[in-house]
Each structure stands twice: as C-alpha cells, then as structure tokens.
A and B are shown apart, each in its own frame.
Chain A
Amino acid sequence: MSRTWRVGLLSGLALAAAPAHAFIAYVSNEKSNTVSVIDTDSWTVTKTIKVGQRPRGIDFTRDGKFVMVAVGDDDTIQVIDAKTQSIVDSLPSGPDPELFAQDAAGKILYVANENDNTVTVIDLEKRARLGDIQVGVEPEGMTISPDGKMLINTSETTNMAHFIDTTSRQIVANVLVDARPRFAEFKHDASELWVSSEIGGTVSIIDPRKHEVIGKVTFEIPGLRKEAIQPVGIGMTRDDKTAFVALGPANRIAVVDVASRKVTKYLLVGQRVWHMAFTPDEKYLLTTNGVSNDVSVIDVAAQKVIKTIQVGELPWGITIAP
C-alpha cells in the first residue's frame, strides 16, 4: 500500500467522522416509570415513553433496532421499537428483573431476577425462555466475558463475584471482593475484570483466568467523607486505556488510568451518579444522576462536563444506539 494512498484513506475517514453524528440515548427513570429519549445533537429530550413499573436495566439490541428495558415490578422486560419509539413486545424474565447482559452476538440474553436468586436465559431471536441458572444468591451486577464463555454475577449477600460457565450453567469460581459489589466490567481484551464495591468504596481488579484479585482502585476526594464515595457503574474506552467510575453520592465520576490503576481526575456531575454509556464514536460519555434527576454529558477527550439534561425521576440506566 502506497503511503499517499494510506494518508488519503485516513483523511477520508477523518472527513467522514467530522460532521457531528446525532445519536439517540434511552434513559430509564425508575421512579416515574418512563424512558427518556435524548438526541445527542441538540442534547434535548425528544420523547418520553411510558413503560411498566420500576424500569432499571436498559440496553439496545446489537442490531440497534430495539431497546430492551427491565420493568421489575411488572416481572418482565419490555421491548421498544427504536423506529416508532413505542413498546412492541415483552420478554419472559423471572420475577423482579433488575438488569441483564447479552452476549457479543446479541443472540442470548441473561436476566438477573432480584427476587428468586435465578438468572433467566432468553433466546433473543425467538424471544423465548431457554432456561434458568440457579445462582443461589441475589444477583446484582452482571456482565459477560468478551468471548461469551463466562457470565459474571456479583452478589450483595456474599460480597463475591461469581463466575458462571455459560455452557454448563454452573458456578465455577467465586472471588471475594469488598462490601456490596454492584457492577462488573471486562477490559475489551478480556485480561482484567473490574468489580465496583459500593460500601467498600473500591474497585477490585480480578484476573479472570486465575480468579484472583490482582489490584484495587481506591478513591480519595479532598473535603469529602469516605462514606460518600460509593463506586457503582464503570465505563472503559475501547483502547482499554481510560476507565470512568461513577461514585454515587460523591456526585463525581473518577477518571482512572487503567495501566497504573490510579485516578487522574474527578469530574463533578449530578447527584448520585450510577450508570453511564459512551456514544459509539466515544466522543461523549453520558451519566445518569438519580437524585438530581438529570444526565451529565462528559466530553471524553477533554475530560470535562459540558452539559446537563433534565430527565424523569430517578434516572437509572442508559443505552445509546450503536
């Protein structure tokens, strides 16, 4: 490949990326029983969709055609058509589904049911229940390894990350972390699993092959009580260089250098920040702030909060069209 040609190709790509792409974000509002639709061009709420009771976990299907939202008090997962922005179907979960994770292909959905200590496995194409995994403890955070072989389930009662083999559907390892583990996230290269502990105030870094804690991220914010630092959501850039950790009532997002596992910056967002999502171009990171009822927009490169958008009451989860 000639050099000029390559340069030409690169600048062509840069040009194509230059116009600001508008993306669509969906936010579940736990208390108002709605989903807010945000346009990332105008940064405004363009629609509010009435959904079932207590919407929390929310995610786009991989093809970007549908948004799935767990409505815990209605014991189901509702499916929103992204084109018409209205509910078109529902998926068979167990009682009180809180959140879910899907495999890389978007074919299998694993649903954490808060009330009966099970994870429901759903075939997304057929929209049918394939079976249940007995996890024995109340499932809380959930994620899947990039190769789809391992399902991770964190439990508030055992303070562990449980590794579940997706083929045998059996727990194969348990790793003790700090108090009240809430969220788990793999590095994209699958070399590390990060687990946040809300009461422990830390993020444990686990070697997913050896099932060992190999490091911890700790947080310290001048002038802030330790109890206010409650890590929950974690977002990692695709190059695995930078992680963002939501710190709950510290009202901040910590920017963490993944290699050194050190916090480089704290960004003041809204109140009780829990979950987040990147725009597909990774230019922006949107966070849900449950107590101030808003979404903060972070410019990822500048590491700055550039906007606040009011949504419904108690915003919980967020997903952005791929």
Chain B
Amino acid sequence: MKVRIVTMAVLALAATGTAAHAADPRYPDWPCTQAKVPEISLAAVWAGPALDDVQTKWKDDAKVSALVSKLSARKTPLDEAEKSVKEFLAGSATDKTTNAKLLFAGLFETLNAQRAQVMIGLERVSRKQRDAADKIREETLALQALQGVTPRDEAKVEALSNELIWKTRIFEDRHKVVRFVCEVPTSIDQRLFALGRVIQQELE
C-alpha cells in the first residue's frame, strides 16, 4: 500500500514538475505562470510630473517617509491607503506638487524593493524544489531496486518508503505555497499603480 502511495506521489511530482507554461529562457528559476518582470519601470505606473529632482529626498521628510511605510504595508487595506493619500495631499496647499512627487517617489522605491525581495525568495524556493525533485527521483529508483531484491529487506523498504512519502509531502506543500506567493508581486504592482493613480488625480 505504502509503495503504491509513493509511486502515486512520484507521478504527481512529475506532473507538477512540468510547468503549465513554457519557461522563460531568461529566467530558468522563475516558478510562476506570470511572466517575470524583474522590476517595475516608472513609465509603467506614473504619467505625472518628472521625479528626477526629488529622487531619494522623500527619506528626509519625516511625514512623507512615515506615510510611505504605512501605505506600503500589505496590512493597510488599499481603500484606506487611498484615503490617506487624498487627506495628505488635501492638507498640503502650496507644496502639493512637491509632496505628491515625494510621496510617489517613496512608494515607488519602497514597493519595488519589497517586490524584489519576494521575487528573490521565489527563485530560491524554486531552486530548492528542483533539488528536492531530483532527490525524490533518485530515492524512488533506489526503492524500486530494493523491492526487486530477494529476499526482500522489509525493514529497509519500509524505512525508505516512509522517507519518500515525507519528502514528497514537503515538496507538494511548498509547491502550493509557491503558487500562492506568485500572486504577491502582482498585488504589489496593483497597490503601486492604484496609489499612483490617486496621486495623479489629486494633481489634476
């Protein structure tokens, strides 16, 4: 029975190993269906005034940098974040454009960095998964060899099948987590774009 479970697990593993989509040759470790965009380009999310003159100045403004941290946190709901942007800009009369630029520059840098971290993590897990899959394949072959030997060493067969079941379970759990985490870069894109849109609307 256990042996059958292992065989099935290995079959499942083989199935999950083949990506549903053709892999991007530029990024062999990228595990997600969404084609990889290594970083968000400013032009993809911002059509407002040029940010060249503000660059990293947002960090020097205590109010702006505090707001950036709050708005960048995934635990802050998006509609609440949008409301905070409007309030902040409504309260800055003469320096509205500067504040808007500082705020977006901060969000752009912070969210892009947050996104890069997630992507590095995803590729690390992807490499780990590939090693785990190799290991599971090797051990499956070893198990099949053990099963073919007469007299059969039942204790050894049992030990190795348990080991394989355990490894396969970890592999599959991780596979599910990866699929879930693949959504995170997209949700960061979404937040940055939505906040950028509100900031630009407030400037119009």
Q: Are A159 and B37 in contact (CB under 8 A)?
A: no
In chain A, positions 190-239 with a C-beta closer than 8 Å to chain B are: 198-199, 221-225, 227-228, 230
Whether A227 lies near B37 (C-beta < 8 A) is yes
CB–CB A271/B43 < 8 A:
no
- CB pair B22 A251 closer than 8 Å: no
B contacts with A, residue count (CB < 8 A): 24
Query: Number of A residues whose C-beta is below 8 Å from B?
Result: 26
The answer to whether A108 has its CB under 8 Å from any CB of chain B is: no
Measured CB to CB, the nearest residue on chain A to B186 is: A291
Indicate whether A180 reaches chain B with its CB closer than 8 angstroms.
yes
Secondary structure of the A side of the interface? Answer: loop
B24 contacts the other chain (CB 8 A): yes
Assess A224 versus B41: contact at CB under 8 Å? Given A156-B22, A179-B24, A268-B47. Answer: yes
For the complex, what is the distance from the CA of A250 to the CA of B45, rounded to whole Å?
Answer: 9
Q: Is A92 an interface residue (CB 8 A)?
A: no
- B189→A291 contact, CB < 8 A: yes
**Chain B, residue nearest A230 (CB):** B35
B24 near A251 with CB under 8 A, answer: no
Give chain A residues whose Cβ lies under 8 Å from the Cβ of B47: 268
CB closest chain-B residue, reference A223:
B43
> Contact at B21–A224, with CB atoms within 8 Å?
no
B21–A271 contact, CB under 8 A?
no
Contacts of A292 in B (CB 8 A): 190, 193-194, 197
A44 close to B (CB within 8 Å) = no
Q: With both chains docked as a complex, state the minimum distance between the C-beta of B33 and any C-beta of chain A, in angstroms.
A: 10
Question: B41 contacts which of A199, A228, A270 (Cβ < 8 Å)?
Answer: A228
Bound-state CA distance A198–B22 (Å) is 11
Q: Does A148 contact B (CB under 8 A)?
A: no
Q: Is the CB of B24 within 8 A of A221?
A: no
- Per a CB cutoff under 8 Å, which of B35, B36, B45 touches A251? B45
Interface centre among B21, B25, B45, B47, by most chain A C-beta atoms within 10 angstroms, is: B21
Per-residue interface assignment for chain B, residues 20 to 46, with 1 indicating a CB less than 8 Å from any chain A CB and 0 otherwise: 111011100000000111111111110
Cα of A91 to Cα of B84 in the assembled complex, Å: 48
Would you give the 0/1 interface string for A145-167, flagging 1 where the beta carbon is closer than 8 Å to chain B? 00000000000110100000000
Cβ-based interface call for A249 (8 A)? yes
